[in-house]
Amino acid sequence: MNPSWLLIGAMGYLIGTFPTAWLLYRLTKGGDIRNEGSGNVGARNVYEVTGKKWVGVVTFLIDALKGALATYLGYLFGGDWLPNGGWAAVGCIVGHNYNIFLKGKGGRGLATATGAALVVNPLMMFTWDIMYLIGYNVIMKNVHVGSMTATIGTAVMMYSLPDLVLAKTTLVPFYEVSDIRLFGVAMCIPLFMRHLEPIRALIRESDE
């Protein structure tokens, strides 16, 4: 591993730790969102526990901006969009999901990943959306099932799509198509990890 990747990943992580949902909940309700609803520090939970659509929308947009900003700064300081910009994006998602300043709590990374994907390869976002609809409507009408289906499906698609498709849909310069594949799969890993617990909870409920 290139030593500079550690610094770029750490930079991305710090950007990801900006606690949008936590701050907006404290400003609008005065409490700690980690103790409310699902405890998730993200757009969906802050919308559900405040009942304010604008709070959810603003949270989503700022969290998406974190992903886009981290990707750009990774490029700016690392010298290339891929792998350095992508590495910063992954670090940002990890920082959002596992925030050291919130005792390891965080969101599920979907908005942050959306921001990074829109900068590098929007096909990843569209693939995720389609897979989500399939998972939600075909497997089970549950947002976590839809999200997990979308995350796994997107990783598989980014790994297996033809080189030409990935090359044509990538908006930034790159050295090898394998860098695009790595970017797509690596971004899905922290999303997958944060959706494991709700899926486990769903399985436990079905067994009772």
Q: What is the pLDDT of residue 95?
A: 98
pLDDT confidence bin for 208, thresholds 50/70/90:
low
- Percentage of the chain beyond pLDDT 90 is 94
* Alpha carbon separation from 84 to 93, 166, 174, 175 (Å, rounded): 14, 18, 10, 11
Instruction: Kindly give the residue spans of alpha helices, DSSP state H, lying in the chain.
Output: 3-16, 20-28, 43-50, 53-78, 86-97, 110-120, 122-134, 143-160, 163-169, 177-207
d(CA 173, CA 164): 14
Q: What is the pLDDT of residue 1?
A: 60
Closest C-alpha among 135, 126, 146, 147 to residue 193: 147
Q: What is the pLDDT of residue 4?
A: 85
158-170 residue pLDDT tens: 999 999 999 999 9
Work out the angle at residue 51's Cα, subtended by the Cα atoms of residues 45 and 54, and round it to the nearest 5 degrees.
Answer: 85
d(CA 8, CA 3): 9
For residue 16, is pLDDT > 90?
yes
- Average pLDDT of the residues in 105-127: 97
Domain span at 168: 3-207
Q: What residues contact 164, with CB distance under 8 A and at least 6 apart?
A: none
As for how many domains the chain has, the answer is: 1
d(CA 67, CA 6): 17
83 upstream amide cis, omega within 30 of 0: yes
Q: What is the mean pLDDT of the chain?
A: 96
Closest C-alpha among 190, 159, 189 to residue 177: 159
For residue 78, is pLDDT > 70?
yes
For residue 151, is pLDDT > 80?
yes
Q: What is the pLDDT of residue 73?
A: 98
